Amino acid sequence: MGTTKIILAGAAVITMLASSAFADDLTGMVTRIDRLNGTISIQQIQKGTVGGSAGGAGAMQEYKTKDAAMLDAVHAGDRVTYSATDTNGTGTLTKLQKQ
């Protein structure tokens, strides 16, 4: 019974760490803005030259904004730095700054 509790506690810690991965500052390019619904799509750009890959474009993700005014300063095609949290499978922007 003790081993089961340790395994479940470890799984819970791993899950919490994985969901907090969104909290770091990321870099990306705005691909679409829906001001009526308060959503933005951002193509993540990989930082650095790890592996020497060409381009380094990552996956595109759609985020909700906690404040619609965050979208006023950016347009499609802008490079941005941003932070987001994951709430029940939905990404929510906590910070958005045009580069």
- Domains of the chain by start residue, with CATH: 2-98 (2.40.50.320)
- Within the chain, where are the H helices? 2-19
End-to-end CA distance of the chain: 53
CB 20 within 8 A of CB 87: no
pLDDT at 87: 77
Give me the half-sphere count of Cα atoms (radius 13 Å) on the Cβ side of residue 74.
Answer: 30
pLDDT at 78: 96
CB 82 within 8 A of CB 97: yes
pLDDT digits (tens, 9 = 90+) for 28-64: 999 999 999 999 999 998 766 555 554 555 688 999 9
